[in-house]
Amino acid sequence: MMDNRFATALVIACVLSLISTIYLAASIGTDFWYEYHTLSPAENVSEAGRSIWEEFVSKDADEKTYTDALFRCNGTVGLWRRCITVPKNSHWYSPPETDMTTNCISFSLSDQFVEKYIEPGNHNSGTDLNRTYLWRLQFLLPFVSIGLMCFGALIGLCACACRSLYPAIATGVLHFLAVGLVGCYVAGIELLHRKLPLPEDVRGEFGWSFCLACVSAPLQFMAAALFIWAARTNRKEFTLLKAYRVA
């Protein structure tokens, strides 16, 4: 039977793993991983608001086209969608508006696996393999991360119940792999901004969706550590108890 200390550690690890999964799921489903703030979005789109929106939602919009729109129109980017802020009525005969609305468009499946070029927007510049694979991992890792965390929690429970150390070590490894999503996203954003530097009047920052994913990371580490500690210590106690009974 388990000591109260081990049972407590197991419960705390399960709670931490559950909370981190909720945080990660919330961050994956929202569109505020990265935000752009321009000083005067209304002035940027007052003359060409309709054309900007049409280019932004076009199936032929390349990376440079929609990134420029994100710069100019207080854009936000998630793992699945991109959004810009435009006037509600963008017509050539309308006066400049201050009443703005946020419109979003989802990345299609082909967008998630499209090649990234060394010079964004220039199809003849060659494929940038680093950015291409980082972009694809951003699409695949959310599913992998959630699956790894759930699977890791189950392995941790089995490890403690069976008094085995090795499955618990696997739990820690799976939780570490789940954090790869955050690292891939940061690397992808940094490489993009090296190719397309921010204009002087635009400020970029990571949004609250990204912060949720970052908060999820230490919770995963703590859960993994508790799983490993509980399984390892419980195994030692069980071994000592067997030795005492034999003696």
pLDDT (tens digit per residue) in 190-236: 999 999 999 888 899 999 999 998 888 788 778 777 777 776 665 55
Query: Which residues, listed in sequence order, are joined to residue 106 by a DSSP beta bridge?
Result: 81
Chain segment 139-192, per-residue pLDDT in tens: 777 777 777 767 766 766 665 566 555 555 566 566 666 667 788 888 889 999
The Cα–Cα gap between 237 and 112 comes to 50
Helices (H), the chain: 4-28, 41-46, 49-57, 63-72, 109-112, 129-162, 166-178, 180-195, 208-246
245 band by pLDDT with thresholds 50, 70 and 90: very low
Strand pairing class (100-106; 76-77) = unpaired
Task: Identify residue 113 by its one-letter amino acid code.
Answer: F
Q: What is the dihedral of CA 187, 53, 109, 127, to 10 degrees?
A: -50
Contact 175, 149 (CB under 8 A): yes
Residue 28: HSE in the Cβ half-sphere, 13 Å Cα cutoff = 19
The Cα-based distances of 37 to 33, 44, 75, 113, 218 in angstroms read 13, 12, 7, 28, 29
With 50 as the cut, is the pLDDT of residue 242 above it? Answer: no
As a whole number, mean pLDDT of residues 70-92 equals 80
| Residues 6 or more apart whose Cβ sits within 8 Å of residue 108 | 59
| pTM (predicted TM-score) | 0.78
Residue 93: pLDDT band (50, 70, 90) is very low
Query: What DSSP character marks residue 114?
Result: P
Q: Running DSSP on this structure, what letter comes out for residue 39?
A: S
Q: How confident is the model at residue 246 (pLDDT cuts 50, 70, 90)?
A: very low
Amino acid occupying residue 25: A
- The helix/strand/coil state of 203 is strand
**What's residue 204's pLDDT?**
92
From residue 92, how far is each of 52, 89, 191 by CA, in Å?
Answer: 13, 9, 37
Q: In whole angstroms, give the CA distance from residue 117 to residue 196.
A: 12
Cα–Cα distance, 136 to 119 (Å, whole number): 18
> Is the backbone of residue 123 left (phi > 0), alpha (psi -120 to 50) or beta?
alpha
Of 137, 131, 132, the residue nearest 191 (C-alpha): 131
* Fold exhibited by the domain 4-245: Butyryl-CoA Dehydrogenase, subunit A; domain 3 (1.20.140)
Residue 195 in tokens:
């190719």
Q: What is the mean pLDDT of residues 127-136?
A: 88
